[in-house]
Structure 1
Amino acid sequence: MVFIFGGAYQGKTDFAKEAFSLAEGDIFSCSGTEIDFSRRCVDNIENFTLACTRAGIDPVEYFRVHRGEWEESILICRDMFCGVVPMGAETRAWRQDTGRLTQYLSREAEHVSRIFCGLEQRLK
């Protein structure tokens, strides 16, 4: 599995398209508590974790249960871990859930890259 993360509007999806020859139809964009792992790439994982936080679902456990479905995938998530701690309880919980999931995915990945200004920083 390839895990790509970086700040908002830093070029994560464009990087993945170019580096892994992805077409639009290869990319699933998360918006709820279910992920279509039949696509080669899963984008906007932070939207999945927000939906999970709101629904009381553990996103790490979801990925553990579905492990066999994403082991060959390209997973993309927005980095939202730096800066001021949010005041709202839901936003703090979302940030924490996303952080726990990105740690899990980073450990499990064969390849981890951070994208900043469209440039790749290979971490693993």
Structure 2
Amino acid sequence: MILIIGGAAQGKLDYVLQQTGYSPDQVAHTPEEAQTLPIFDGLELWPDLDEEALLSANPDIILICDEVGCGVVPMDPAQRTWREQVGRLCCRLAKRAQRVERIFCGLPMTLKGDPSTWN
């Protein structure tokens, strides 16, 4: 599994498509679709994701998640809880990932793994 993180509109999906040669129709947007498609974009919308089930069904998936923990802390307790859940999910996934990359302004920064290889 590969985890790609970065702010909104920073080019994460474009980067993954360029690196892999996959097309936009091979991108999942729900956990159900992610069981069989190679890329799952929008992970931050699913903080209660059953990661065990997903990784068991699709161990080589590329997960793309917007960073939601930077910036002003929301006043709304539900928003703070959501941000914490997404952050904890990303921490768990990063520990298991073969590679973690952060995309900023379309530029990749390898946080974990070999930056010279893509499966």
**TM-score bracket for the superposition, by shorter chain length:** 0.7 to 0.9
How many residues matched? 111
Structure 1 gap segments, 5+ residues each: 50-57
Q: Secondary structure at 2:46's aligned position in 1?
A: helix
TM norm structure 2: 0.87
Q: Secondary structure at 2:32's aligned position in 1?
A: coil
RMSD: 1.2
Would you say the 8 A contact 2:101–2:110 is kept in 1?
Answer: yes
| In the alignment, structure 1 residue 6 sits paired with structure 2 residue 6 | yes
C-alpha deviation, 1:84, in angstroms: 1.5
CA distance in structure 2 between the aligned counterparts of 1:94 and 1:108, rounded to whole angstroms: 22
CA distance in structure 1 between the aligned counterparts of 2:53 and 2:38, rounded to whole angstroms: 18
CA deviation map 1:53-105 (0-9, x unaligned): xxxxx43xx11233312311000000111121111111111101100100011
Q: 1:47 aligns with which of 39, 45, 55?
A: 45
Q: Secondary structure at 1:75's aligned position in 2?
A: strand
Q: 2:115 corresponds to which residue?
A: none
Q: 1:22 corresponds to which residue?
A: 22
Q: Secondary structure at 1:13's aligned position in 2?
A: helix
C-alpha deviation, 1:48, in angstroms: 1.7
Identical aligned residues as a percent: 35
After TM superposition, what 4+ stretches of structure 1 lie above 3 angstroms from structure 2?
none
Structure 2 gap segments, 5+ residues each: 113-119
CA distance in structure 2 between the aligned counterparts of 1:3 and 1:84, rounded to whole angstroms: 24
| In the alignment, structure 1 residue 35 sits paired with structure 2 residue 23 | no
Q: 2:77 aligns with which of 62, 71, 89?
A: 89
CA distance in structure 1 between the aligned counterparts of 2:20 and 2:67, rounded to whole angstroms: 21
TM norm structure 1: 0.84
C-alpha deviation, 1:35, in angstroms: 3.1
CA distance in structure 2 between the aligned counterparts of 1:92 and 1:26, rounded to whole angstroms: 32
